[in-house]
């Protein structure tokens, strides 16, 4: 026996809407799965792509603003600190400058960002101004090796010129003309703060190096051998001379 059943119109519409929602969710899931590999590929391409930085400089010959496009390669943009530290160590020793001083200058100048650009247009790790970079033959201030080579060479020139690290740092920041004018650290708040910050970092680094050196020397010196107790010397009785009643000389021991 068959029993006839009535399907209500409202129930039919609800099922249709449910099926439609499930279908839409399924399509969206397929789209997201297909897009994930594409996003990963795009991210990898962006990671390996060259970075183009636009720099506006004043042409020293014409005085006009000139726009330059600097190409920063991924290797330069993400240079590991270890590689930069090796460059600092090698370059500083080649020019007879304390690597700790160069390290302190870089920390204050750019905090080790090879692509840093100051509001005044100084560029790279040691913040070379375009005229200084041109004078020192730098073709790309954002290249760590070129920047450090030129910066250390310039710092060494200032050290030899003023025979005073404070004045050399002041000239590095404000220019030799300002130091020559005032015959001391110029009364510019920025320059005075700069000399103080670099000097503080340099002093702390030297103290740490001295402590490390002292600890190494102490560890390398062998401990003295334990002192041996000297054996107690044997005591011998003393000899005394005396003359008897007959005038003869005799010897006897005494305690």
DSSP string, 54-98: EEEEE-TTT--EEEEEEEE-HHHHT--HHHHHHHHHHHHHHTT--
Catalytic site positions: 109
Q: Which two tokens stand for residue 50?
A: 């060259």
Give mean pLDDT, residues 90-102: 97
Using pLDDT thresholds of 50, 70 and 90, give the confidence band for residue 1.
Answer: very low
pLDDT in tens, 116-128: 999 999 999 999 9
Give mean pLDDT, residues 64-79: 51
Q: How many CB atoms lie within 10 A of CB 77?
A: 14
- On whether the CB atoms of residues 134 and 151 are closer than 8 A, the answer is no
Picking from 85, 91, 209, the residue whose alpha carbon sits closest to that of residue 156 is 91
DSSP alpha helices (H): ranges in the chain? Answer: 9-48, 74-77, 81-94, 99-109, 130-135, 144-162, 165-174, 176-182, 189-220
pLDDT at 71 over 90: no
Using pLDDT thresholds of 50, 70 and 90, give the confidence band for residue 234.
Answer: low
* Element of type H or E holding 241: strand 238-243
- On whether the CB atoms of residues 162 and 169 are closer than 8 A, the answer is no
pLDDT for the residue 5? 43
Using pLDDT thresholds of 50, 70 and 90, give the confidence band for residue 68.
Answer: low
* Arithmetic mean of pLDDT over the chain: 78
Q: CA-CA distance, 27 to 210, in Å (whole number)?
A: 68
Q: CA-CA distance, 178 to 216, in Å (whole number)?
A: 43
pLDDT for the residue 18? 58
Give mean pLDDT, residues 224-243: 64
End-to-end CA distance of the chain: 145
pLDDT at 6 over 50: no
Spans of all domains in the chain: 79-214
pLDDT for the residue 184? 96
Picking from 169, 162, 110, 115, the residue whose alpha carbon sits closest to that of residue 142 is 115
Using pLDDT thresholds of 50, 70 and 90, give the confidence band for residue 152.
Answer: very high
pLDDT for the residue 109? 97
- Provide the residue count of the chain: 255
pLDDT for the residue 79? 46
Of 164 and 237, the one with more pLDDT:
164
- On whether the CB atoms of residues 104 and 205 are closer than 8 A, the answer is yes
pLDDT at 62 over 70: no
pLDDT for the residue 244? 72
pLDDT for the residue 215? 82
Of 217 and 206, the one with more pLDDT:
206
- On whether the CB atoms of residues 202 and 104 are closer than 8 A, the answer is yes
pLDDT at 178 over 70: yes
pLDDT for the residue 15? 47
Fold (topology level) of 79-214? Lysozyme (1.10.530)
């Amino acid at each position: 026996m068959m029993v006839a059943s009535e399907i209500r119109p409202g129930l039919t519409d609800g099922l249709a809407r449910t099926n439609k929602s499930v279908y839409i969710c399924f399509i969206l899931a397929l789209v997201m799965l297909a897009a994930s590999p594409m996003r990963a590929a795009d991210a990898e391409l962006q990671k390996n792509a060259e970075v183009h930085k636009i720099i506006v400089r004043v042409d020293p010959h014409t005085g006009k603003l000139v726009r330059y496009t600097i190409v920063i390669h991924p290797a330069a943009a993400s240079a590991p600190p270890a590689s930069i530290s090796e460059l600092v160590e090698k370059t500083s020793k080649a020019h007879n400058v304390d690597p700790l001083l160069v390290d302190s200058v870089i920390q204050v100048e750019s905090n080790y960002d090879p692509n840093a650009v100051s509001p005044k247009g100084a560029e790279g790790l040691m913040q070379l101004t375009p005229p200084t970079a041109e004078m020192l033959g730098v073709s790309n201030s954002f290249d760590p090796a070129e920047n450090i080579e030129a910066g250390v060479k310039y710092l060494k020139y200032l050290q030899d010129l003023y025979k005073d690290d404070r004045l050399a740092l002041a000239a590095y920041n404000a220019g030799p003309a300002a130091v020559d004018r005032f015959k001391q650290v110029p009364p510019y708040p920025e320059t005075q703060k700069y000399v103080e910050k670099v000097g503080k970092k340099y002093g702390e680094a030297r103290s740490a190096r001295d402590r490390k050196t002292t600890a190494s020397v102490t560890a390398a010196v062998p401990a003295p051998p334990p002192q041996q107790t000297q054996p107690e010397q044997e005591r011998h009785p003393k000899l005394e001379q005396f003359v008897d009643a007959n005038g003869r000389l005799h010897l006897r021991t005494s305690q």
